[in-house]
Amino acid sequence: MTKPISNLRNFTIGRGTELRCKGWRQEGMLRMLENTIANGEKPEELIIYGGSGKAARNWESYHAIVETLKALENDETMVIQSGKPVAVFRTHEDCSRVLCANTNLVGKWATWDHYRMLEAKGLMMYGQYTAGTWAYIGTQGILQGTYETFAACGKQMPEGDLRGRIVLTAGLGGMGGAQPLAVKMAGGVCIAVEVDRSRAERRVDTGYCDLICDDPAQAMALAREAAQNGRQLGIALIGNAAELLPRLRTMGLKPAIVTDQTSAHDPLNGYVPAGLALSEATTLREKDPGEYTRRSLDSMSAHIRAMLDFQRDGAIVFEYGNYLRGHARENGVANAFDIGGFVPMFIRPSFSRGRGPLRWICLSGDEADLRTTDATVQAEFSDDPLLRTWMDMAREKVAIQGLPARTCWLGMGERERLGALLNDLVRSGKVAAPLVISRDHLDTGSVAQPTRETEAMKDGTDAVADWPLLNALLNAACGADLVTIHQGAGSGMGGSISAGHLLVADGSEGAARRLAKCLHVDPGIGVIRHADAGYEDAIAARDAAGMRDPMQPA
């Protein structure tokens, strides 16, 4: 049995221009895998974020993936089943180099119990979103989407932003850790409850949060003082959300916005029940997982009830897609879904137009390449004020984690322009090495998740999973370097189907061709999905892009 890398402080990410593989497409995949693990929350266990989201099934599989990538020919494709490489097929040069399916179980069997039985036997892993797609870039990966959400919240305020407003939330893990900085970027003050002090300390160390409090009264006083003076501030309050949210309300806190990004999708490995220290939670989880899960669900119910109370007080309250409402409703909180989801409340107009989160990664490891790409993107999209504001703030406030990377939201047509620009930078030698383009799974056409991205669809097709599968098929047909399909992810077992991809811009004509095709169909199927549901802005976007509706006369 191949052992884990013994000292992960010595775990390195490939950088520079030297190839270990037979082409940049394979080398790009290898560096993205290494970068994902290096940025993970528990890299020694290959866990990247979200409680148990992994990049490879186990260390034996990881080493096999690495060696296969190094030997993979330019006309071969590696096939990966839930983090384990199972085959290499001769395909063709424009075909995907890696195809991967993670955590996919047939409907009736897509339960935590059945999954955990398979996981215990070493037969599956939980791929989450960007963990199993090898596209994780650290906390920045979720930061801009979180900023876009809080900026949309701010537009509902009289001032048009969050200045002078307090946001109360919980969870500072791999996804939630972006919240304090995102709130600050939108002008506000954030109190983020976090049960694990080490996570809070990590967010302070990386500049995503300003300070840590153990006393709720002190956190309230600091937040109120900052809000009254129009100052932005991110506070991590140590404690359990199910206990602290109702306590803060009793103490008189009146936040403008309340949300949550704990890993509530997984009641066993992601959420910590009230009344337990972390060490006690770990012991109970191992000793009696059934009792642990029962206590988690009871705590989620208390958590949601506190959020409902804040909503009755007049706060804007929403779930951030972690299935907290679903677990609470299943556990007896009948009105849990009186709380809305963030996509129908704030993001759907962007998705309808094919706009969503794109990212690029500098394989050279050179920060100068990131500065070059940033300047190029800002010049190309200078007419987008939200993007311009984001890029200015990101350069100043976002720490680089692993390989230099940037994320930004771009729409239909804009992504194709970006792909061509980045490939030209590589071709002309303006950057030192190729770039990888990817995105979150949380995008316009790449996920079906009825409690998040596809909640409250206009035509009632919230649970129709054909669309992300078509997204994956289209990306594979167009030659995306890596294509993945996942089940579960942020909503928990049985809750979603999604697709991800990686695209290598190596400056070649082949890359230019693949980028143009993939970056057209990838958001394009999202526009089609929303047009089919009857959204007028999606119909307009479809027609503007020249995409024909086969059901209409030519």
Q: Is 195 left (phi over 0), alpha (psi -120 to 50) or beta?
A: alpha
The contacts of residue 487 (CB under 8 Å, 6+ apart) are 102, 103, 104, 105, 110, 493, 494, 496, 497, 498
- The answer to whether 81 touches 58, Cβ cutoff 8 Å, is no
Catalytic residue among 21, 209, 408, 518: 408
> What is the SS3 string spanning 100-154?
EEECCCCHHHCCHHHHHHHHHCCCCCECCCCCCCCCCCCCHHHHHHHHHHHHHHH
- The answer to whether 475 touches 469, Cβ cutoff 8 Å, is no
Distances (CA, A) of 53 to 57, 318, 507: 10, 24, 33
> Cα(229)–Cα(214) distance, rounded to whole angstroms?
23
> Cα(166)–Cα(234) distance, rounded to whole angstroms?
10
Residue in 242, 235, 250 with CA at minimum distance from that of residue 195: 242
> What is the SS3 string spanning 482-535?
EEEEEECHHHCCCCCEEEEEEEEECCCHHHHHHHHHHHHHHHHHHHHHHHHCCC
Angle at 222 between CA 216 and CA 226, to 5 degrees: 145
> Cα(471)–Cα(128) distance, rounded to whole angstroms?
17
Residue in 382, 434, 426 with CA at minimum distance from that of residue 25: 434
Residue 261: both structure tokens together:
């990004």
- The answer to whether 325 touches 265, Cβ cutoff 8 Å, is no
Q: Is 190 a catalytic residue?
A: no
Give the DSSP H/E element, type plus range, for residue 437: strand 435-439
Residue in 218, 70, 126 with CA at minimum distance from that of residue 494: 126
Q: Is 12 left (phi over 0), alpha (psi -120 to 50) or beta?
A: beta
Residue 399: both structure tokens together:
């720490």
> Cα(130)–Cα(54) distance, rounded to whole angstroms?
9
Residue 382: both structure tokens together:
């200078």
Q: What is the DSSP string of 248-293?
A: HHHTT---SEE---S-TT-TTTT---TT--HHHHHHHHHH-HHHHH
Residue 206: both structure tokens together:
């990386």
Show which residues are catalytic. 408
